[in-house]
Chain A
Amino acid sequence: MNDNEYFVSGHKACAGCSVPILVRWVLKIAGPDTFVVNATGCLEVFSTPYPYTSWKVPWIHTAFENSAATATGIDASIKRKGLLNAHIIVFAGDGATSDIGLQALSGMAERGNDVLYIMYDNEAYMNTGIQRSSATPYGAWTTTSEIGTENLIGKKEKKKPITDIMVAHNIPYAATVNIAFFNDFKDKIKKALGIKGTRFINALAGCPTGWKHDPSKTVEVMKLATRTGIFPLYEVVNGQMRITYRQDPRIPVGDYIKVQGRFKHLQNNHAVIDEIQKNVDSWWSKY
C-alpha cells in the first residue's frame, strides 16, 4: 500500500459519506500508475468542482452511462503506447452501472478490456436527490418510491443482482466489498488489480443523506449490512464463488432496518420485515 495520497480532501461530499473513503483507499492500493474514469454522479460532482480537483491521478468524466466505453478507449490508447501495466479503474454509481450504463458495461465485459470496474452502491440516484434505481432494496423509501396511503412499502421491486449478471459474462474476477470490513476489502482490491481482463467490484457505499441516518453512523450501518447478511461478502474467481465473511449467527435484518430513516415506514410492518428476512435466509441457505 502506498503512503502517498491520490485522492485528497477539500471535496464537497456530505458529512459521513463513505465514497471518499472507498476511493482514497482503492487509489492508495493501486498507486500512481492509474487512470480513473468516473461516471456522472455524486463522486464526480463533489470531487471536481472546477477549477479544483481531488484527484492526483489522471481522471476523466465524460457522461453518465458510458464509463465502460470511455475506459475501453483509454485501454486501447495506452496499449498502443506500450503502457501495459497501468491500471484503469472505473468508479460509477449503482444507477450508472445497473441501469443506464448496463449496456456499455456488458459490451466492455464481452470485449474483455483490461479495466477494474468498481460500482459504488449507495442504492439510489443520490446526486439527483435520492430517486430509486434498480439497486435500491425492496422496501426502501426514495423520492420516486414514495410512501403514502396507496404505498406502504416503498420500493416494491427487489434489487437487481448486478454481481451475478457480471459473473454471467464469464469475467475473471467479480467481488463484493464493504470498507467496514477493511482487510477483506483491501485483499480483494489487490487481487483484482493483479488480474487482466474486465474485473467487477460491487462496493457497498453508505450514504447518510439518502439512507437517512446520522452522519457519524455510516460505518456502523455498513457493518450491519454485512452482519445481517443483507450485503454478503464474496468473490468469484473464474466462476468459482467463495464467501469471504461469515457472521454466525447472523444479526436479524430488523436491526439494520431500524437504524435508517429510509425504512422508517417499515418499523411496525412485521410482514415486510419477515419477508426481507426470508429472502436473506434463502440466499444464505445456498452457501
Chain B
Amino acid sequence: MYKVMKGNEVTAYAAMLSSVDVIPAYPITPSTLFPEKISELIANGEMNATFIPTESEHSAISVAIGASASGSRVMTATASQGLAYMHEMLAIASGMRLPIVMAIGNRAISAPLNIWNDQQDSIDERNSGWIQLYAENNQEILDLTIAAFKISENEKVHLPVMICMDAFLLTHTMEAINIPDKKEVTDFIGKNTTNRIILDTEKPATLGSFASPEYYTEFRHQVTVAMEAANSVIFDIFSDFKKRFNRNYDVVEPYRLDDAELIFVSMGAVSGTIKDAVDVLREQGKKAGLLRLVAFRPFPSQQIKKYLSMDVKIAVIDRNVTPGYDGSVLYAELRSILYDSDFKPEIIDFIAGLGGRDMTIDDFIKIYTLAMEMNADSNHIVWEQLKPLGEDVS
C-alpha cells in the first residue's frame, strides 16, 4: 500500500507496524508530529500502545529506560535541545544495554535559537553508545526504523538506535511511501522476546548498580564490542530486509564512484541534492561521485577504506561544528580512518548548511569547482556560504 506522508508521520507508522508497547514523548520542533500522530493512532483504535506524554525529554527517555528494562518494546522521538536535555540518560540506556529506538529530527543547537536543519544535535551524541542511522528520504525512515528494532534487539547488539532525519527536509516533507503489511513487519522483526535480563519478580535482578574501577572499564568495553558486532548484524538484517521487502540498504551508499576524481561524502537528505549535482557534473564530463554514510555509529570504517583509499579528492559536507578543532567531526573521523590506508586522498572539509541554510545543486557544483582548484597549500577547511562580518543578515 502506498501512502503520502510526512517524515514524522512515517516514524509514527513505523512504531505502529513494529508493535511498540510503550511510547513516552515530549514535543519539540521538528519532531512534534510524532507524539501527535501517536496520540491520534491510539485514539482511533489503530494502534495498541501505551502513550505517555511526559513533562520533559529527560523524563521521556527515563520512562523509556524504565519500560525497556522491564521488557517492553519502546520508542520515542526528539530533536536538538530535547536530545541535549536527554544527554545524561543516553549513555545510561546504552550502558544498561536497552534496545530503545528513537527518531531524531536533526536540528541546530542553541544559541542562537534556531529550529532548522543541521546535524549538530545527533553528531554531538556520537559517544553515547547509540547506533546512529541517517535517512535520505521518507521511505528510508520507515525501513530503517523497522530494521532498527531488529538490530537493537539482536542479542549480539542490545544497544539503542537513533534514526536521524533532517528537520523539515524530511520531517515535514510529503513523500509517497510503500507501507508493508503489519504481518510482514511482525514476521521480520519477530516478537519482543526479551532475550535479555529484565526486571522480573520471578527472577529478581539488580540493574544499574555501582561499579568500582575494578569493573567499570569492562562494562564500557562491552558496549564497544557490541557496537563492533552491530556492523555485521546490520549487514545481515539489511540482507534479510531486501529479501522480504525488495529494498536494498547498506551502511554506506556509493553513487557514481567509477573513475571519480572528486567524491562528496555526506549524510542525510542533502545527499539527494548532491546526487543531482553529481549527475549534472557527469553530464558536463566532470568526474564527480558521492559516498553517503547511512551508519555513522558504528562508523563504517572498512567500507570507507574500500571506497575512498584512492588517489581522489574528497569533499566532506559537514553539517556540524567542533570549535577548537581544525575541521568538523565527519572530516576528522574520515581522515583518521584513512590515515593508515595505502592511498591517502586529499580531503577538504566544507562546513555547510548550518541552522537550515539552503544547499542547492549549484552550491555543490561550486564546491566541486573550488575543490578541484585546490592544491596541497590551500586551506582545506572551508566555511561554505559564510557571509562577511557586518553584512545584513536579513
Residues of A bordering B, CB below 8 Å: 32-35, 37, 44-45, 48-51, 53, 55-63, 65-66, 68-81, 83, 86, 103-104, 106-107, 110-111
A55 engages B206 (CB within 8 Å):
yes
A35 engages B212 (CB within 8 Å):
no
Residue of B nearest to A87 (CB): B201
A65 engages B21 (CB within 8 Å):
no
- Least CB distance, A61 to chain B, in whole angstroms: 4
- Which residue, of A55, A58, A59, A65, has the highest number of chain B Cβ atoms within 10 A? A58
Set A33, A45, A66: member contacting B89, Cβ < 8 A = A66
Contacts of B66 in A (CB 8 A): 37, 60, 62, 69-77
Q: How many residues of B contact A (CB 8 A)?
A: 40
Contacts of A50 in B (CB 8 A): 209-212, 215
B22 engages A73 (CB within 8 Å):
yes
A70 engages B62 (CB within 8 Å):
yes
Give the distance in Å from the alpha carbon of A78 to the alpha carbon of B92 in the complex.
21
Could you list some 9 contacts between A and B, CB below 8 A?
Answer: A35-B199, A44-B210, A49-B212, A60-B69, A74-B70, A75-B66, A76-B50, A76-B66, A80-B50
Q: Does B59 touch A at the CB level, under 8 Å? A: yes
Give the distance in Å from the alpha carbon of A68 to the alpha carbon of B55 in the complex.
11
Give the distance in Å from the alpha carbon of A45 to the alpha carbon of B210 in the complex.
6
- Which residues of chain B from 183 to 205 have a CB within 8 Å of any chain A CB? 199-201, 204-205
Contacts of A106 in B (CB 8 A): 55
A58 engages B50 (CB within 8 Å):
no
Give B50-73 as 1s and 0s: 1 = Cβ < 8 Å from A's Cβ atoms. Answer: 101011101110111111111110
Question: Given the known A-B contacts A55-B204, A69-B66, A74-B69, are A48 and B55 also in contact in the complex, defined by CB atoms under 8 Å?
Answer: no
Contacts of A73 in B (CB 8 A): 22, 24, 52, 62-70, 72, 74
- Least CB distance, B370 to chain A, in whole angstroms: 47
Q: Does B40 touch A at the CB level, under 8 Å? A: no
Give the distance in Å from the alpha carbon of A103 to the alpha carbon of B55 in the complex.
8
Q: Does B359 touch A at the CB level, under 8 Å? A: no
Question: Given the known A-B contacts A61-B207, A80-B22, are A35 and B68 also in contact in the complex, defined by CB atoms under 8 Å?
Answer: no
Contacts of B62 in A (CB 8 A): 62-63, 66, 69-70, 72-73, 104
- Least CB distance, B267 to chain A, in whole angstroms: 30
- Least CB distance, B121 to chain A, in whole angstroms: 21
A48 engages B210 (CB within 8 Å):
yes
Question: Given the known A-B contacts A60-B69, A73-B69, A74-B67, are A66 and B50 also in contact in the complex, defined by CB atoms under 8 Å?
Answer: no
Give the distance in Å from the alpha carbon of A61 to the alpha carbon of B70 in the complex.
13
Give the distance in Å from the alpha carbon of A111 to the alpha carbon of B72 in the complex.
19
Contacts of B210 in A (CB 8 A): 44-45, 48-50, 61
Give the distance in Å from the alpha carbon of A34 to the alpha carbon of B52 in the complex.
22
B204 engages A63 (CB within 8 Å):
no
Given A32-B204, A69-B54, 15 more contacts at CB 8 Å? A35-B199, A49-B212, A55-B206, A60-B199, A62-B208, A63-B92, A69-B62, A70-B66, A72-B59, A73-B52, A73-B62, A74-B67, A80-B72, A107-B55, A111-B52
Question: Given the known A-B contacts A60-B66, A77-B71, A80-B21, are A33 and B209 also in contact in the complex, defined by CB atoms under 8 Å?
Answer: no
Closest 8 CB pairs of A and B: A73-B66, A107-B55, A69-B62, A48-B209, A73-B67, A69-B59, A66-B62, A70-B66
Q: Does B96 touch A at the CB level, under 8 Å? A: yes
B70 engages A35 (CB within 8 Å):
yes
Contacts of A58 in B (CB 8 A): 70, 199-201, 204-205, 207
Residue of A nearest to B197 (CB): A58
- Least CB distance, B276 to chain A, in whole angstroms: 44
B204 engages A56 (CB within 8 Å):
yes
- Which residue, of A32, A76, A81, has the highest number of chain B Cβ atoms within 10 A? A76
Contacts of B88 in A (CB 8 A): 63
B215 engages A60 (CB within 8 Å):
no
A53 engages B206 (CB within 8 Å):
yes
Residue of B nearest to A55 (CB): B206
Question: Given the known A-B contacts A58-B199, A66-B89, are A76 and B58 also in contact in the complex, defined by CB atoms under 8 Å?
Answer: no
Give B221-258 as 1s and 0s: 1 = Cβ < 8 Å from A's Cβ atoms. Answer: 00000000000000000000000000000000000000
Question: Given the known A-B contacts A35-B201, A62-B62, A104-B59, are A53 and B69 also in contact in the complex, defined by CB atoms under 8 Å?
Answer: no
Contacts of B22 in A (CB 8 A): 73, 76-77, 80
Give the distance in Å from the alpha carbon of A191 to the alpha carbon of B66 in the complex.
26
Contacts of A60 in B (CB 8 A): 66, 69, 199, 206-208
Contacts of B63 in A (CB 8 A): 69-70, 72-73, 76
- Least CB distance, A54 to chain B, in whole angstroms: 9
Contacts of A48 in B (CB 8 A): 206, 208-210
A59 engages B72 (CB within 8 Å):
no
Residue of A nearest to B70 (CB): A77
Give the distance in Å from the alpha carbon of A149 to the alpha carbon of B54 in the complex.
47
Give B1-25 as 1s and 0s: 1 = Cβ < 8 Å from A's Cβ atoms. Answer: 0000000000000000000011010
Give the distance in Å from the alpha carbon of A89 to the alpha carbon of B59 in the complex.
17
Give the distance in Å from the alpha carbon of A247 to the alpha carbon of B58 in the complex.
43
A51 engages B215 (CB within 8 Å):
yes
- Least CB distance, B52 to chain A, in whole angstroms: 6
B201 engages A86 (CB within 8 Å):
yes
Contacts of B68 in A (CB 8 A): 73, 77
Contacts of A103 in B (CB 8 A): 55-56, 59
